[in-house]
A and B are shown apart, each in its own frame.
Chain A
């Protein structure tokens, strides 16, 4: 179509059976004002090269599937627009710090394993049944944890975190924010169960306060705040641990 704008996407490719190392492949595609980077990738896959591999699903920034590095910044491909990278080229690569499975697809299993270990679910003081009715929780009490409950598990913060890049044992921003999400919930009594993960060297103390995780979060979760909010309590746990040999199991 006359006057149609085009842009070149330089997409990082890697097939574990065929390639020794990742390389960049350029694709030139048409775009308009509202074309997202994800739609650009879909155009390539549908029309130009069906072997280009990436994850996507909701295309409205809530499922967390399509995180990647766009011009070196972690972003959701569905929420980034080609107009903002014109005239290009724009470089699209898999999320930093995570093993590449193929092209833009990374291995998420480390994050999922950490989520399980951290017990990021509500652990009540007493098991309730529906007959007991809903808990009362005022809007003010909800505000204590609400922002941390907005995490879509997109892993952009892991790609942003230099500490995680250096040491994958670090529990990392999203999981620690989700720990704080439950620890601060007035309905929860599971803080002790999560304490070991938080207080370990790989827990909140692994964070070196860079804060890039919070900058890239598409949902305003602010994991850096969650982690640093937790450090004083972690110090208290540590000191109480000296006073009480059973410190790890006690109530702070």
Chain B
């Protein structure tokens, strides 16, 4: 539903921009449409491939199996395993919260749950190819490395603060 509303707003914005510009320079607009169609096809293929992995992964890894796997770890090992598992897991974060809830109920440490959740939302191994293609290798490497370090810091801070 949220996606639909945001999508509609973006669509109106885009169509609005095109219509406003229609009077000014049709040639440029034609180029923009050509480029847009090319983008659309290319992005669709790439993004759909990411959706396939997320879909397949979600069906092969159940909430309990991920939860029980993570419960075996604690301390700094827990933080590391949590962040690596979180980076592999993808898809809407709504699936991440029940797993985290399950972990907390079964006695996992705050730091493990924090690292798992933070990594879920901050790093996506599956979308890394998209990141490299669009934003470059340096950007991707710097961003993800820094995110990984931050996840560990966030996990330790969460443990200390809560």
Q: Do the two chains bind?
A: no
Binding site for B on A (CB under 8 A): none
